[in-house]
Chain A
Amino acid sequence: MLFLRCQPRVPSASAPPFRPRVRVAAPLGVRVTGGRRGQAVVAMASADARLAGIASSIRVIPDFPKPGIMFQDITTLLLDPKAFRDTIDLFVERYKDQGITVVAGVEARGFIFGPPIALAIGAKFVPLRKPKKLPGEVISEEYSLEYGTDKIEMHVGAVQANDRALVVDDLIATGGTLCAAVKLIERVGAKVVECACVIELPELKGRDKLGDRPVFVLVEADA
């Protein structure tokens, strides 16, 4: 996996300095077999170029929603058609041959990235929503917040036991919301193949909450 530190688009006195960090674990979306290393390196290089554009299109807003939080704002990525296109392409390249039958998107920013991926890979799209938004019969999963709890809901019948699911959100922080989303899907007997996010805040250790369920992200940022 290729990682690039998010570059603040609107630098401010309280934003941390940009420290480029590229870590290569495995080529993005490419299986390296036998003598295909040259092809893998080319794929990595092109993924690298797209990731740089994606990372630099994300805006960091200090002290939102409260003091001390550096908010990763993807709305500026959405204003850059190439960066948005590249984001979707990177996910689609990874998932198109994995037999994914359903993409579940977490309200509301998961609704922006999930459907284009679903459409491109021919999967269903299932919105996972805050309470009382879905009109039909639902199942709910509660999860902890810093103070109190929240809930997400899914329509009964949207996901079947033989579905292979991808869960999509813009960002993974503590992993609370994603974990609740995964549990909803597993409760109906389906398999969560992976969780996919544009951004990860690794200091908040969201992956720990998700246990051995795979998480794939495009860029990392400081919490």
Chain B
Amino acid sequence: MGEEASCNAISEMEAATNARPAKENGRAPAVAEVVAQEAAADPRLQGISDAIRVVPHFPKHGIMFNDITTLLLRPRVFKDAVDLFVERYRGMRIDAVAGIEARGFIFGPAVALAIGAKFIPLRKPRKLPGEVISEKYVLEYGTDCLEMHVGAIERPGERVLITDDLVATGGTLCAAIRLLERAEADVVECACLIGLPKFKDFYKLNGKPVYVLVESRESDK
């Protein structure tokens, strides 16, 4: 997730074992919390976490980059990650999955196909050929921009899931949420494979819950 504002010091990964104490901010409702605890005990999560490689000091010094390409080399583990999302979202009447360029494109379409939803790519500027709406967001140094085709959301209230590989500061996800809400979509949730520790237990961004499978790590085991 090198394109976002810098990840701050990342805590050691806790094994997906016991339920954690609830965070004070952004606490999810009770039902979601129970689901999170059940998901925390899922044996597939350990394999997913183990398959992610930590690359120190990329893209710059101090950032411990959580690299999902090693997970993609393990078909069984890749399938488990997609299955975990599909199991969660299959019953939630999701109309569209919006994936953030480029690593959100790797997970989002497979989830969309399995749950019968559209896939909407959210892209860097000047990549989408048709008429777009754009949303700027702040990086550590400077700004960036996400774009979506006009007409990707066909009706107000379409239920959308946003996907990316990792959430750190949440800046890109927040831009994606704003973009979809400007198109009058109903953003149901954001789903990421990896999140900084604060994103466990459905921490909310702009009032939208963020569902992550595993915590980011500072080093390989």
Contacts and interface: CB of A to CB of B under 8 A. Distances in A.
Interface stretch (B33-41, B75-83, B189-197): B75-83
B91 interface: no
Interface in B66-95: 67, 69, 72-75, 78-79, 82
Interface of A: 59, 61, 64-65, 71, 73, 75, 78-81, 84-85, 88, 107-109, 111-113, 115-116, 118-119, 122-127, 129, 132-136, 155, 158
B107 to A, nearest CB: 7
B118 A135 contact: no
The DSSP consensus for interface residues of chain A is: mixed
Contact of B107 (A59, A115, A126, A135): A115
Contacts, number: 108
B129 A61 contact: yes
A88 to B, nearest CB: 6
Interface string B39-81: 0000000000000010100110000010101001111001100
A81 B116 contact: yes
The DSSP consensus for interface residues of chain B is: mixed
Interface of B: 2, 53, 55, 58-59, 65, 67, 69, 72-75, 78-79, 82, 101-103, 105-107, 109-110, 112-113, 116-121, 123, 126-130, 149, 152, 154
A115 B110 contact: yes
Nearest to A116: B110
Contacts of B103: 111
B62 to A, nearest CB: 14
Contact of B75 (A65, A109, A123, A134): A123
